[in-house]
Amino acid sequence: MSEDLYQQAIVALARDASHAGTLEPSEAKITRDNPLCGDRVTLTGRFASDGSLSEIRHKTRGCLLCEAGAAVVAANATGIDAAKAAQAGAEMRAYLNGSADKAPWTSGDAFAPVRAKKSRHDCVTLAFDALSGLFQTRS
């Protein structure tokens, strides 16, 4: 049932503002839009000397699923490199399309009801796509 889509776990993720905002200054900034629905995620990041992310914030204007995806990304991406960012995105897509059993960076099944709603997968993955792009925009 679609109501399950908005179970407490995913609402809680979406409402988690602990990594929301914008880093000023930042070493990298990227905005990704979902052209079909207008959802927008902006990530700003700073990097350690080894190229890994040392700090990240997200600014999201989107649906609850998009906000939840962005919150998960921003809460978990510190310390990862570009390869791991791409891997996380691939794992989330695999989880949503049913070819993997576990979503990256989440405990429990907050995103499980999204799997049955194909039209909403991009809402969740928008921030993951932005994360991969963030490494490429590093100044």
Partner 1 sequence: MSFDAAALRAQFPIFREEINGKPLHYLDNGATAQMPQSVIDAVSHHESHARANVLRGVHTLAERATEAYEGARGKVAAFLNVPPEEIVFNSGCTAAINLVAYSYGSLLKPGDEIVLSVLEHHSNIVPWQLLAERSGLVLRVLPATEDGRIDVGALSRLTSANTRLIALAHASNVTGAVLDVPSVVGEAAKVGARVLLDGAQRIPQGPLDLQALGVDFYVFSGHKAYAPNGIGVLWARSQILEAMPPFMGGGSMIGRVDFTGTTYALPPRRFEAGTPPIAQAVGLGAAMDFMARLDWASVEAHEMALTQRLMDGLGRIAGARIIGPRGLQGRVPVVSFVVDGIHPHDLAQILDQNGVAIRGGHHCAQPLMEHLDLPGTARASIAPYNDASDIDALLEGVAMARRKLA
Instruction: Identify whether the C-beta of residue 17 lies closer than 8 Å to the C-beta of residue 129.
Output: no
Q: Report the residue number, 56 or 123, with the smaller CB distance to partner 1.
A: 123
Least distance (Å) between residue 116 CB and partner 1: 12
Kindly report whether the peptide bond that precedes residue 25 is cis, defined as omega within 30 degrees of 0.
Answer: yes
Edge-first strand listing for the sheet containing 28-33: 28-33, 40-47, 53-61
Q: Report the residue number, 60 or 106, with the smaller CB distance to partner 1.
A: 60
Least distance (Å) between residue 105 CB and partner 1: 22
**By the criterion CB under 8 A, which residues form the site for partner 1?**
1-3, 5-6, 11, 36-40, 61-66, 117, 120, 123
Least distance (Å) between residue 33 CB and partner 1: 9
- Rounded to whole angstroms, the Cα distance separating 114 from 36 reads 17
